[in-house]
Amino acid sequence: MARYDLHCHSTHSDGLLAPAAVVARARARGVDVLALTDHDELSGLAEAREAALAAGITLICGSELSTTWEGITIHIVALGIDPANATLADSLAAIRVGRSARARRIAEALAAAGIDGAYDGAMRYVTSERLVSRTHFARYLVEAGHAREMKDVFARYLTPGKPGHVPHEWAQLAEAVGWIHAAGGQAVIAHPGRYKVDGSGMRRLLSEFRDAGGDAIEVVSPSHTRAQYGEFATHARVLGLRASCGSDWHGPGESSMELGALPDLPVGVVPVWRDW
Ligand code: AMP
Ligand code: MN
Ligand code: MN
Ligand code: MN
């Protein structure tokens, strides 16, 4: 059976390797079908597609869209989109502008907490002038000695209630699903186990996603426990959604799951790739 990895990042967002290097690494790890899903960005897809063609693996054009639902940030992975679609491309460009403004506010919030120079520090980690993310701040804060590991920086500084966190309004969930469909793609709710919602909140989130036209749940993800694979597989079956899997790989030494090192989808779900 083909090995799928449908969620990863390159230097066109907050990953550490260029798209061609991500593709080469995926190929070396035995991936047959790879989706490059840079945050709010499509610009790495041309290079990835060319590299995949040369390497003999299948590249699915993707992106990971930042959205807001009931005040919390929800990521929607787009799979199989047309990178030339103007509706999607223009909408993502607007989200990236919002990211730049947010970066200034994050730096101000950190300065108010006694950490100076975070904007310039984060910029030294940015690898595409088009996109800045909290990951770039996190890498700088580790370098500056404010935490030992990336996950500690997020826990101490960059998440709701912490000194470097600023509220931000992303796209509306339903709007993002619409752009993905306009570009011919499928919308997958990314790593749902990460969202800070209770059981009824999760059911509401997933059913609103389904009602908005959402296609699939990312069931297998390094953000999930084995028990959660089963829980999200059940949600997918009950809601009539398909199931996806992705390593959410960002770079050597920075990700808990290697490219392609994904367990099989639980039995009984319909894979997101069934009609590919
Ligand atoms: P942003 O989209 O700018 O808000 O940044 C979100 C990114 O931060 C995610 O895609 C991850 O790459 C990274 N991130 C979020 N939480 C953590 C964490 N606890 N540990 C490591 N990276 C994280
Ligand atoms: Mn990321
Ligand atoms: Mn994500
Ligand atoms: Mn991701």
Supply the pLDDT for residue 34: 98
Cβ of 154 closer than 6 Å to ligand 1, yes or no, is: yes
What tens digit of pLDDT does each residue of 98-152 get? Answer: 999 999 999 999 999 999 999 999 999 999 999 999 999 999 999 999 999 999 9
Q: For residue 136, how far is its CA from the centre of ligand 2 (angstroms)?
A: 9
Cβ of 135 closer than 6 Å to ligand 1, yes or no, is: yes
What tens digit of pLDDT does each residue of 138-189 get? Answer: 999 999 999 999 999 999 999 999 999 999 999 999 999 999 999 999 999 9
The residue length of the chain stands at: 276
Alpha-carbon gap, residue 143 to 127, rounded angstroms: 16
Backbone angles phi, psi at 149, to 5 degrees: -130, 160
At position 48, the amino acid (one-letter code) is A
Pairing of strands 242-245, 216-220: parallel
Alpha-carbon gap, residue 213 to 232, rounded angstroms: 18
Supply the pLDDT for residue 1: 83
Using most ligand atoms within 8 A of CB, pick from 12, 102, 128, 133 the residue to mutate for ligand 1.
133
**What distance lies between CA 1 and its chain's CA centroid?**
25
pTM for the model: 0.98
Cβ of 244 closer than 6 Å to ligand 1, yes or no, is: no
The pair of structure tokens assigned to 94 is 């607007």
Q: For residue 182, how far is its CA from the centre of ligand 4 (angstroms)?
A: 22
Cβ of 250 closer than 6 Å to ligand 1, yes or no, is: yes
Q: For residue 74, how far is its CA from the centre of ligand 3 (angstroms)?
A: 8
Closest CA to 128 of 29, 254, 24, 12: 12
Alpha-helical segments (H) within 184-271: 199-211, 226-239
What tens digit of pLDDT does each residue of 206-263 get? Answer: 999 999 999 999 999 999 999 999 999 999 999 999 999 999 999 999 999 999 999 9
Residue 271, strand partner residues: 243
Alpha-carbon gap, residue 50 to 1, rounded angstroms: 24
- Reduce the DSSP state of residue 58 to 3 states and report it: strand
Average pLDDT over residues 72-86: 98
- Note the ligand closest to the C-alpha atom of 40: 1
